[in-house]
Amino acid sequence: MKAITTIFSFFILIQIEAAKAEGNATDHVEELELENEVKLPLVVKTTFHMHLEGSLLEDTCLIKPFQPDTLDMCNYNTSNPLVIIIHGWTMNGKMEEWVFKLASALKTRLEHLNVLIIDWRPLAFQPYPTAAKNARQVGLDVANLLMWLEETMQLSMDKVHLIGYSLGAHAAGFAGSHFPKAKKLGRITGLDPAGPNFEGVPAPDRLSPDDAKFVDAIHTFAKSSIGIAVGIRQTVGHADFYPNGGYFQPGCHMTDIYNNVYQYGLEGVPKTIKCAHQRAIHLFIDSLLKQDQEMIAYRCRDDRAFDQGLCLDCRKDRCNTLGYDVRKVHTGGNSKGLYLKTGPQTPFKVYHYQIKILVMNLIERVKDSVSIALTGSEGESQYFPITLSLEHPENKTYSSLVAVGSMLGELRAVRLRWTGKEDWSSWWRRVTTMMSRGGGANETELIVSKIRLKCGESQEKKWFCGQTAAVTHLKPSQEHEFARCQHASKKKRSSRHLQETIRGQQLAKPSHRIKTDQFETD
């Protein structure tokens, strides 16, 4: 409990300092501007390092603005595009390893590329609210560097890509804001842009779509199950990705805080937090090095709708590729984010499947009581618990989402079972009780007409039917397999035919009409 208390105290302190900073925001800005006018130390505290190879800052080559000879010394190639990496707030004053991993991944993927690493640790190794204010100065420093390269090396701003992490993402945005519309930077990527002091503020005071011709952001710690938010939740770009809803990430566990504190002392607290916060970095690195493992995200109104399996459509630019190979499409001011699931470790790619089940007698949504397994030509999945969310009340269509960690190939069968996690009295209330002709109650059962699967990555839809009858009666603790429907390419039975089948088995009331062609659509 001491570790948990420490982490809450840590973030409460940040929020208190942030509140104080907001209360004195005007005075602080005036002081910063005054210091810039009188003595220019803040400007020179940001340094620029050409990454050639290696994993230490000492392995880089220092480029000094307005000194062209340093460009020659560092082998700066004027014909190559330029990528600038901007780190975020630091609690220990150290340059973190991910900076060099990202730089190396960029060089491995692209080869002919200039990669600069911005070192603004003297400004970042401050109380968080102060470091957040200093991000503006860093943005100005980067803008001045780019303007100098444009003037002396004829660098086109179209060939500039800024990649900023946490506070560095907003620093990148501030850099881009210094360029007029005709000379906007080509691209800015925000890796889990910082939330405190930036959530909900006007666009000029944070990273926004106005800062470059294309702005993409990956949100991985915008909120957690215990209420801590390190990254920003709102959309800040033309394409905003929310892996796993933008919450705490798979493979990152708050329970690890105990082991980390035991092993690293108080530094174990930020180490635990960084797992989810820095996941955005590692997802981007994966996109550079694992081109055959593209991670596809889907536009959706929120993570809840995505988890219900309602948003696996790629029509009209409704899906996009996370990371370096993102398609630079503008959605006309659509503020909806792009959602996807990922695995707990590299490669992070998973395959998304939309599950639609036509259940004849379920009257409420049931959580974690039904499981599904998929079998394909290249393997089969484990059982996944699914939440049956009512999509179309009139035709009893329930939908859900399943993320599978490996390629299954062409789907051939679906297995459905009750897991028995809820007691049967609960199920009795949730499932319509059918009466036999003799007046006695039948055993509780789930009555499934058919199942449709849609793969998000391929956009293919497959229909699966019971093997022996028009409907399948699934009882508690039972498992049933559904095979590919024989006439999958044709429209299924008409509403009238299916209704007659159900009525003949006394499984539905006459008033419950089934609209099968509505079930056919997304």
SS3 110: helix
SS3 209: helix
Residue 307: the pLDDT is 93
User: At 473, which helix (H) or strand (E)?
Assistant: strand 472-474
Residue 13: the pLDDT is 44
- Both structure tokens of 133: 């204010």
- Angle, vertex CA 490, rays to CA 403 and CA 396, nearest 5: 55
pLDDT tens digits, one per residue of 210-230: 999 999 999 999 976 556 779
Question: CA-CA distance, 46 to 62, in Å (whole number)?
Answer: 11
pLDDT tens digits, one per residue of 412-429: 999 998 765 554 444 444
SS3 18: helix
Which among 236, 231, 175 has a CA at the least distance from the CA of 201? 236
Whether 20 shows a pLDDT value over 90: the answer reads no
Which residue, chain included where needed, has tokens 């049931």?
Answer: 366
Among 49, 104, 161, 192, the one annotated catalytic: 192
- Angle, vertex CA 185, rays to CA 121 and CA 219, nearest 5: 60
- Domain 351-520 sits in CATH at 2.60.60.20
User: What average pLDDT does range 24-28 have in this prediction?
Assistant: 37
Whether 112 shows a pLDDT value over 50: the answer reads yes
Q: What is the 3-state secondary structure (H, E, C) of 364-430?
A: CCEEEEEEEEEEECCEECCCEEEEEEEEECCCCEEEEEEEECCCCCCEEEEEEEECCCCCHHHHHHH
Residue 492: the pLDDT is 42
Is position 286 annotated as part of the catalytic site? no
Instruction: Write b or e for each residue in 263-275: b if 16 or more Cβ atoms lie within 10 A of its Cβ, otherwise e.
Output: eeeeebbbbbbbb
| Average pLDDT value for the chain | 81
Which residue, chain included where needed, has tokens 């993570």?
Answer: 303
Among 161, 170, 219, 277, the one annotated catalytic: 277
> pLDDT: is 27 or 176 the higher one?
176
The end-to-end CA distance of the chain, in Å, is 47
Confidence bin at 508 (pLDDT 50/70/90): very low
Whether 353 shows a pLDDT value over 80: the answer reads yes
Residue 252: the pLDDT is 86
Which among 62, 102, 84, 72 has a CA at the least distance from the CA of 146? 84
Confidence bin at 35 (pLDDT 50/70/90): very low
> pLDDT: is 253 or 116 the higher one?
116
Torsion from C-alpha of 495, 496, 498, 504, nearest 10 degrees: 150
- Domain 2-340 sits in CATH at 3.40.50.1820
Whether 176 shows a pLDDT value over 50: the answer reads yes
Q: Say if residue 66 is exposed, middle or buried (CB neighbours under 10 Å; 0-12, 13-18, 19+).
A: exposed
Is position 517 annotated as part of the catalytic site? no
Which residues 6+ apart lie within 8 Å of 216 measured at CB?
A: 187, 188, 189, 190, 237, 238, 239, 240, 241, 326
Confidence bin at 468 (pLDDT 50/70/90): confident
User: At 453, which helix (H) or strand (E)?
Assistant: strand 446-455
Residue 269: the pLDDT is 66
Whether 443 shows a pLDDT value over 70: the answer reads no
Amino acid identity of residue 321, one-letter, is T
Question: CA-CA distance, 165 to 194, in Å (whole number)?
Answer: 8
Residues forming beta bridges with residue 463, ordered by sequence position: 452
Q: CB under 8 Å, gap of 24 or more: what pairs does 489-496 form?
A: 491/516, 491/517, 491/520, 492/450, 492/463, 492/516, 492/519, 492/520
Alpha-carbon separation of residue 387 from 161, 178, 344, 355, 465 (angstroms): 41, 48, 21, 10, 20
Whether 494 shows a pLDDT value over 50: the answer reads no
Decide whether 2-340 matches 351-520 in CATH topology: no
Residues 467/481, Cβ–Cβ less than 8 Å: yes
SS3 34: helix
Among 49, 104, 166, 170, the one annotated catalytic: 166
- In the chain, where are the structural domains located? 2-340, 351-520
User: Is 211 one of the annotated binding-site residues?
Assistant: yes
pLDDT tens digits, one per residue of 257-300: 667 666 767 666 667 778 999 999 999 999 999 999 999 999 99
Sign of CA dihedral 108, 109, 111, 117: negative
Is position 381 annotated as part of the catalytic site? no
β-pairing, 337-340 with 239-243?
Answer: parallel
Confidence bin at 446 (pLDDT 50/70/90): confident
User: Is 423 one of the annotated binding-site residues?
Assistant: no
Residue 17: the pLDDT is 44
Question: CA-CA distance, 508 to 500, in Å (whole number)?
Answer: 10
User: What average pLDDT does range 480-499 have in this prediction?
Assistant: 61
Question: CA-CA distance, 308 to 313, in Å (whole number)?
Answer: 13
> pLDDT: is 522 or 94 the higher one?
94
Whether 199 shows a pLDDT value over 70: the answer reads yes
Confidence bin at 6 (pLDDT 50/70/90): very low
Alpha-carbon separation of residue 182 from 208, 406, 463 (angstroms): 17, 45, 51
